[in-house]
Amino acid sequence: MYSELVMDHFSNPRNVGTIADADGVGTVGNPVCGDLMKIFIKVKDEHIEDIKFQTFGCGAAIATSSMVTEMVKGKTLEEAEAVSNKAVAEALGGLPPQKMHCSNLAADGVHEAIKDYRSKVAGKVE
């Protein structure tokens, strides 16, 4: 029912944790099930230098969180913003239909963290 990649990222999630001095933090909740994801990013020269996640959710949510951190680490903010939830699910070899909603959090969490970073930068400039 789950691809090997999903099982791999669930059993051995990458980039789990928090970043104390994060430049941006994104928190998103899944309206379908109430699960929560938090993404922390460090930004340098418009690139995601480091990224960590904390997910209070199901195995599919943990796997998508783990995968999205790998997909955007080292990328520019613009490249990270272009990653969609669907792309994350596809990178994992797909999710069972009843678990597709679990991929709603992954890229959204990254996008929220970037938004948070950009608003902080804008605040500093003003």
Stretch that binds ligand FES, among 17-25, 29-37, 45-53, 116-124 (CB under 6 A): 29-37
Q: Are 57 and 10 in contact (CB under 8 A)?
A: no
Contact with ligand FES (CB under 6 A) among 15, 30, 65, 85 = 30
CA distance 40 to 50: 8
* 3 state DSSP class of 41: strand
Alpha-helical (H) ranges within the chain are 4-11, 59-72, 77-81, 85-91, 106-125
Contact with ligand FES (CB under 6 A) among 6, 61, 80, 83 = 61
33 assigned to active site = yes
Q: Which of 33/87 has CB closer to ligand FES?
A: 33
Q: Does 102 bind ligand FES (CB under 6 A)?
A: yes
- Active-site residue (options: 7, 16, 25, 33): 33
**What are the catalytic residues?**
33, 102
